[in-house]
Every structure is written in structure tokens, then in C-alpha cells.
Amino acid sequence: MPVSDGKASVSYLVLLARQPDGALHRLDARRLLAPMPADYLWAVLGNQFGQSTAPTKEITFRKGFGSVRVPRVVPDAQSRRRADEWLSRRVHEQQPDATALVVRTQAAEFDLTLGRETSTKTADETVFILR
């Protein structure tokens, strides 16, 4: 978490279920991923909830040690279909009418002197269409 001039910057994920009318409802990441820890959400999202077909993955090391590309197991069509079904089922447990999962990366700034969030913006958004 970068800190400068009494301000801290953080990124976090927000999970939203999009309804047929376009309304968005927040989802509980713990319920979505259980029994996996919610801390795995960044990694699960990095693999696009089991839909990524990229043959390599870039791993970036903290503290300026660079990055490396490593081979990864590419899921076959059947595995991707099962992962898609799993994701749809898990979202529908919280929002039965949801048509899509919207994952937003929020960039927030906190004023440490005031002890509160001073700004938030959506840095990225990924949409997963549900079955």
C-alpha cells in the first residue's frame, strides 16, 4: 500500500450481479468462493474464473524484482464449461435473476490524518455473462 503525504492508495475488488433491468447488486465474495478463502479472489480473477486460455502467466515480484512468464495449464473446453457453470450457480445463489457478474477494480485513496476514504474511482471492469 503506497503511502505519501499522509495519504494511502489501495486497490480492491467489488463483485456485482447485473439484473435483467440493468440494476447492480453487490455480492459477498466469501459466499461466492466458499470454501476457498476470499483472499484467493485476485488469483481466481487473474485466471478469469477458469476461462483463461493463455498458455503463460506473468508473475510480478514486489519490491522491484521484476517479473517472469511461466507456463500454465490451459483448461480444455469441458473444464471451462464446468467452471462457467460453477460461477453461474454461485452467483445465482445470491442473486437468482442475475444475467452477468461484474467485477470492478476500485482505486481508493485514504487520508490517514482524517481517517477516511477521500476518493474512489473504477480502475477496471470485467463482465462475465452467466448461463
pLDDT at 1 over 80: no
**Which residues contact residue 8 at a Cβ distance below 8 angstroms, ignoring those fewer than 6 apart?**
1, 2, 109, 110, 112
| For the chain, the helix, strand and coil percentages under 3-state DSSP, each to the nearest 5 | 25, 40, 35
Question: Taking residues 23-39, what's their average pLDDT?
Answer: 97
Between 44-48, 88-92, 124-128, the lowest mean confidence (pLDDT) is in: 44-48
> What's the pLDDT score for residue 58?
76
pLDDT digit string, tens, across residues 41-86? 998 998 999 999 988 877 777 667 788 888 888 999 999 999 999 9
In the structure grid, which three cell numbers stand for residue 98, read together?
442475475
Q: Residue written as cell 522491484?
A: 64
> What's the pLDDT score for residue 116?
92
Count of structural domains, the chain? 1
| Phi (first) and psi of residue 49, to 5 degrees | 55, 45
- Measured CA to CA, the distance from residue 60 to residue 57 in angstroms comes to 10
**Which residues contact residue 106 at a Cβ distance below 8 angstroms, ignoring those fewer than 6 apart?**
11, 12, 13, 14, 120, 121, 122, 123
**Range of the structural domain that residue 91 is part of:** 3-129
- How many residues does the structure list for the chain? 131
pTM value? 0.83
**Which residues contact residue 50 at a Cβ distance below 8 angstroms, ignoring those fewer than 6 apart?**
44, 75, 79, 80, 82, 83, 84, 86, 87
